Amino acid sequence: MPRPNDSPHHQQPDQHRTSAGPNDLLIGLTQRPAIAQDERSTALVTIAEANAECLSTAGGMPQEKASSLADRFLDAKAVTPATRQAIRSSRDFGALKAEYIKQQGCCDDLVKALRK
């Protein structure tokens, strides 16, 4: 007579679990700061570039000056030029920047907030 737990659909909870070894845990722990740093850098570049774009298009600031402000901001935040270029050239950067501007209302609203 079959027991209720002998069904092929009933499995013990630990039967198919893979155990993470110490190396797997270390790899996971060392990747988290890198991911957080990438997200931080992406956010900073997105904000700086959106601000520069809006300052030059809606704020009447020459594009070179607005770009210079963005670069100085990113220098102060220790975002390297190579990291900036990699983020700017990523496939979805334009959409990300546009979404940030949209979240702020529009370029006019963003410039007003910057000037406060």
Q: Is the per-residue pLDDT at 79 higher than 50? A: yes
Helices (H), 1-116: 22-57, 63-76, 81-88, 93-103, 107-115
Query: pTM of the prediction?
Result: 0.69
CA dist 66 and 82 (Å) reads 19
**Mean pLDDT score, 53-69:** 94
Instruction: List the domain boundaries for the chain.
Output: 45-116
CA dist 116 and 97 (Å) reads 22
pLDDT on residue 103: 96
CB atoms within 10 A of CB 38: 13
Which two tokens mark 92?
């979805």
pLDDT on residue 35: 64
pLDDT on residue 24: 47
Residue 91 has φ and ψ, to the nearest 5°, of -60, -35
